[in-house]
């Protein structure tokens, strides 16, 4: 299952929390399966000149992400969790919904 995570800070993040968040991010890149059990970090994007990080994870189930997302929340980040599907699957679902 592929999941898109969109991370945005809740407000101004103090330096100590920013350092802890950066370390969590480093761990996610170096050892993704330890940060998210059974997870694989597929891609990530850090928006330039914006407080926005987008990541795509492959996980066995969405619940595997919850400890990671909760840690980020404690460090001052809100995370939007979006289940993703391949384009051909999404197009077929839309066509079916439209009766085509």
CATH number where 42 lies: 3.30.70.1060
pLDDT averaged over every residue in the chain: 93
The sheet that has 77-84: what strands, in order across it? 40-46, 53-58, 2-9, 77-84
pLDDT digits (tens, 9 = 90+) for 16-46: 999 999 999 999 999 999 999 999 999 999 9
Lowest mean pLDDT among 44-48, 88-92, 93-97: 88-92
Dist CA 53 CA 79 (whole Å): 9
Percent of the chain with pLDDT over 70: 100
Domain with 37, as residue range(s), is 2-97
Query: For the chain, what is the domain count?
Result: 1
* Residue 48 CB contacts under 8 Å (≥ 6 apart), including other chains: none
Does the structure show a pLDDT above 90 at 4? yes
């Amino acid at each position: 299952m592929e999941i898109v995570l969109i991370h945005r800070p809740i407000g101004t993040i103090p330096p100590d929390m920013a350092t802890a968040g950066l370390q969590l991010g480093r761990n996610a890149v170096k050892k993704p399966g330890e940060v998210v059990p059974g997870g694989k970090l597929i891609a990530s994007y850090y928006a330039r000149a914006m407080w926005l990080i987008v990541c795509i994870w492959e996980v066995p189930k969405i619940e595997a992400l919850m400890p990671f997302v909760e840690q980020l929340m404690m460090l001052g980040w809100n995370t939007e969790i979006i289940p993703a599907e391949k384009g051909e699957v999404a197009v077929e679902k839309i066509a079916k919904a439209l009766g085509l």
